[in-house]
Structure 1
Amino acid sequence: MSHIPQIKIPATYMRGGTSKGVFFKLTDLPETAQIAGAARDALLLRVIGSPDPYGKQTDGMGGATSSTSKTVILSKSTQADHDVDYLFGQVAIDKPFVDWSGNCGNLTAAVGSFAISNGLVDTSRIPQNGIAVVRIWQANINKTIIAHVPIVNGEVQETGDFELDGVTFPAAEVLVEFMAPADANAAMFPTGNVVDELILPQSTPEFKAKGISSVKATMINAGIPTIFVNATDIGYQGHELQDDINNDENALAFFEMLRAHGAVKMGLIEHIDEARARQHTPKIAFVSVPSDYTSSSGKAIARTDIDLQVRALSMGKLHHAMMGTAAVAIGTAAAVKGSLVNLAAGGTSRTQVIFGHPSGTLKVGAEATLTDGNWQVNKASMSRSARVLMEGWVRVPGDSF
């Protein structure tokens, strides 16, 4: 029996923030995968090594976590006053599914670097030495992001002494600004409320087992749709690490069902069953007041070093640090007095917060304003880092897409 040989596709494997992904130039993809659809999804699934019933992605580039099962497609921007169009695909690990419903804020830090190094940014916009300001059009959510990329001798500077909790080694700092992360044509709080009461039907086994009939929630659409609940309301302290949640199947089922009900309340889906096909959004997170804890790396985090604690789940698992887009949601919600995030941080007016996560701490800034009864945020910002891990070609069987 004859088999079609493998093909090779130019690709770059990059770390951005606390995530890793396979980056492609749109024009380097096979012709059938240059347009959205089944062929593109099948190709990216094979590249990453999904679906994998073993959950390891051994036969692909994925790392068997939501943070390392990611793909990025970049092209010269079709938008005025932008340099590059950025399309992000979150690849499911055990399902044949690529979620295009949201952005990856962490990998955004690598977009500017890749765009410069691969000729997607006009050379007139790249200084010989200094900071290149890369204007990114985030095509999943139709938003502008600005990446400030350090340049030395005309090339991207990747090494440096900036330390990011959740990343082992220091690197060059990349400031990322998310412009108007809340949709100006839609409510930042889709329900119209800064805090809602989510009714949890006791006919649902996951809720009945918890013995919780309702829970307060702040549901916000900024950076990425996110549902925040209080840790103490659902039986947690707020300083849990991955093993505390991810080794508990009942806890994971509870969070997924809570996420599904929140998604319906936010108007993202019509029925909770639709949440299975929308794993990337919304995110579900729980918040608490500061407390002393030890991070996953053994680093002692003092309650005096942080304003609040946040734990977030991504693709059904507690994240090892914090998703960049969820950090935008945290910063934005913290700036809105009365939100659960703001209350956990002390309830005062804020333009930035330092929050604790399983790997350490992160600072994020945002300014929110209330205009004609609607909350808006002009910009949210944070510092990340990025670097190329490997570049060349990725190979897949020629009949896999």
Structure 2
Amino acid sequence: MSQVPQIRIPATYLRGGTSKGVFFRLEDLPPAAQVPGKARDALLLRVIGSPDPYGKHTDGMGGATSSTSKIVILSKSKQPGHDVDYLYGQVPINDSFIDWSGNCGNLSSAVGPFAITNGLLDPARVPRDGLCTVRIWQANIDKTIVAHVPISNGEVQETGDFELDGVTFPAAEVRLEFLDPADEGEGEGGGAMFPTGNLMDSLEVPGVGTFKATMINAGVPTIFVDAAELGYDGTELQGAINEDKAALAKLEAIRAHGAVRMGLIGDVAQAAGRPLTPKVAFVASPKDYVSSSGKLVPAADIDLLARAMSMGKLHHAMMGTASVAIAAAAAVPGTLVNAAAGGGTREVITFGHPSGTLRVGAEAEQVDGQWTVTKAVMSRSARVLMEGAVRVPGDAF
């Protein structure tokens, strides 16, 4: 029996927001994996442990959920005025490909800390104490993210008292600004924030029904629908959705047909090859509910309820990019999200998700009849869980 030695690749395992991922410096990857292509994907699939027909990621670094099966590749930026180039890959559990079509807003909070610690930022830019501003080029969607990373004694501060629902322990706050988060350059509207040209559409899904929908490109392409039209009240936790195969099929059909209406794909059959984007989410007006941790979330503490699907399952909290989409849509009167929040002008909202609440903000303006968002802001935290190297068989790629 032939034996192929394992190879060792420097890597860091980080939590960012409510997600976890394996972070690499581009220069540390084997030469064949330093460029996009089959070799890179094969290597990173093996790192995560996909595809896994058992759905457990036992033989890899993945966590067998959409929130914990992620890859990040970072390098010194080639873009003027930026510090680091950030490439994100979502790794399906049971499929043998990586979806590079979008960003992870949660892991965005770990990019700045990693860049500082791993020499991707000019040391002269790092203060002894205070905040270090890191300008990040998000290479998947060609957008700028500005991270404000706390520094203590010349090093990234990871511990603190900032609490984030969906994360067990407090940590240091990392404030993120997503600049010009709308318009990913896709869709029937030529890359407009509302690619169909409407703040609200009637989305027909054959065999399922017709739904009011707000389809937006901001943070991540997202299809918002009314929870009541799905038979929900917006307080649902993961078990109510993820254990219902009929519900999952209905939501995926809505996602696929919405993707066609947004111009992201040409045919609903192509949706399976692009599971990361668009997202589908449902919203409702505030109601009291009990979060997944058992904490009561009073209706008085939130502006609306929001639940979002990630890689075919209800997310345990809320994706960072979807949070940007929620903030952007809430800021525009006439959208489903704005209506669920009570209407009016809203630059800052707090929404309820399965794990608790999140406060996000967006600056929206209307120019020549077209809505755009200049900036979305939120806070997350990040922490190194393990650093060193991952090992994979030498013939894995």
Asked if the contact 1:129/1:152 (under 8 Å) is kept, the reply is: yes
Counterpart-to-counterpart distance in 2, 1:280 and 1:247: 20
Shift of residue 367, structure 1, vs aligned partner:
1.2
The residue number in structure 2 matching 1:39 is 39
**Is 1:351 equivalent to 2:355 in the alignment?**
no
2:200 to 176, 195, 207: 195
The residue number in structure 2 matching 1:13 is 13
Counterpart-to-counterpart distance in 2, 1:379 and 1:367: 5
Counterpart-to-counterpart distance in 2, 1:396 and 1:200: 43
Counterpart-to-counterpart distance in 2, 1:125 and 1:287: 42
1:318-351 CA distance string (max 9 Å, x none): 0000000000000000000010000000011100
Question: Match of 1:279, as an amino acid?
Answer: P
CA RMSD between the two structures: 0.7
Please report the TM-score for the alignment, with normalisation by the length of structure 1. Answer: 0.97
Q: Secondary structure at the match of 1:333?
A: helix
Question: Match of 2:196, as an amino acid?
Answer: T
Counterpart-to-counterpart distance in 2, 1:257 and 1:233: 15
Q: Secondary structure at the match of 2:101?
A: coil
Asked if the contact 1:220/1:333 (under 8 Å) is kept, the reply is: yes
Question: Match of 1:51, as an amino acid?
Answer: P
Q: Secondary structure at the match of 1:144?
A: strand
Asked if the contact 1:181/1:223 (under 8 Å) is kept, the reply is: yes
Asked if the contact 1:103/1:141 (under 8 Å) is kept, the reply is: yes
The residue number in structure 2 matching 1:281 is 277
The residue number in structure 2 matching 1:210 is none
Asked if the contact 1:184/1:376 (under 8 Å) is kept, the reply is: no
Please list, as runs of the form range in 1=range in 2, the aligned pairs for 1:117-132 lying within 5 A after superposition.
117-132=117-132
Counterpart-to-counterpart distance in 2, 1:62 and 1:327: 23
Q: How many percent of aligned residue pairs carry the same amino acid?
A: 70
Name structure 1 gaps, 5 residues minimum.
Answer: 208-212
Asked if the contact 2:51/2:93 (under 8 Å) is kept, the reply is: yes
The residue number in structure 1 matching 2:188 is none
The residue number in structure 1 matching 2:158 is 158
The residue number in structure 1 matching 2:107 is 107
1:206-229 CA distance string (max 9 Å, x none): x1xxxxx31000000000000000
Asked if the contact 2:331/2:346 (under 8 Å) is kept, the reply is: yes
Shift of residue 183, structure 1, vs aligned partner:
2.2
Counterpart-to-counterpart distance in 1, 2:124 and 2:7: 35
Asked if the contact 2:205/2:253 (under 8 Å) is kept, the reply is: no
1:99-155 CA distance string (max 9 Å, x none): 000000000000000000000001121111110000000000000000000001110
Counterpart-to-counterpart distance in 2, 1:231 and 1:348: 20
Question: Match of 2:292, as an amino acid?
Answer: S
Q: Secondary structure at the match of 1:97?
A: coil
Question: Match of 2:197, as an amino acid?
Answer: G
2:361 to 365, 372, 380: 365
Question: Match of 1:194, as an amino acid?
Answer: L
Counterpart-to-counterpart distance in 2, 1:362 and 1:50: 31
Q: Secondary structure at the match of 2:234?
A: coil
Asked if the contact 1:283/1:314 (under 8 Å) is kept, the reply is: yes
Shift of residue 164, structure 1, vs aligned partner:
0.1
**Is 1:87 equivalent to 2:83 in the alignment?**
no
Please report the TM-score for the alignment, with normalisation by the length of structure 2. Answer: 0.98
Counterpart-to-counterpart distance in 2, 1:363 and 1:20: 21
Please list, as runs of the form range in 1=range in 2, the aligned pairs for 1:2-401 lying within 5 A after superposition.
2-183=2-183, 186-202=191-207, 207=208, 213-401=209-397
Question: Match of 1:384, as an amino acid?
Answer: R
Counterpart-to-counterpart distance in 1, 2:70 and 2:252: 21
Asked if the contact 1:89/1:98 (under 8 Å) is kept, the reply is: yes
Question: Match of 2:198, as an amino acid?
Answer: N
Q: Secondary structure at the match of 2:145?
A: strand
Asked if the contact 1:238/1:311 (under 8 Å) is kept, the reply is: yes
Shift of residue 184, structure 1, vs aligned partner:
8.1
Counterpart-to-counterpart distance in 2, 1:192 and 1:383: 31
Asked if the contact 1:74/1:84 (under 8 Å) is kept, the reply is: yes
